[in-house]
Amino acid sequence: MCMDEVTQLTTREHGAKLGSQRADSVLFADDMMIFSQTTVGMQHKLDTLSIGLQQAGLSINVQK
C-alpha cells in the first residue's frame, strides 16, 4: 500500500504517451519503473518520489 501512496505524489503530465493515454509508472511487487518524456520531468519525478519514499522509511535503489 505504501507504493500506491507514493506514486500519487507524481503527476501524469510527465508520463509517456501511449496512444490517447499516459503511462506514469509501472509497479510490480517492490519494483517501480517511472516514465517521462523529458529529463526535466524525470528529475521532478525522482525528486518527488525520493521525498515521499524517505517519509515512508524507504529509498530508491538506482542500481536496480
What is the residue-wise DSSP string for 13-47?
GGSEEETTEEE-EEEETTEEEE--SSHHHHHHHHH
Q: How confident is the model at residue 44 (pLDDT cuts 50, 70, 90)?
A: confident
**Nearest in space to 29 (alpha carbons), one of 57, 49, 3:** 3
Every domain of the chain and the residues it spans: 2-55
Q: Cα–Cα distance between 1 and 36 in angstroms, integer? A: 23
CA 9 to chain centre: 8
Query: Percent of the chain, pLDDT > 70?
Result: 70
Is the pTM for the entire model greater than 0.85?
no
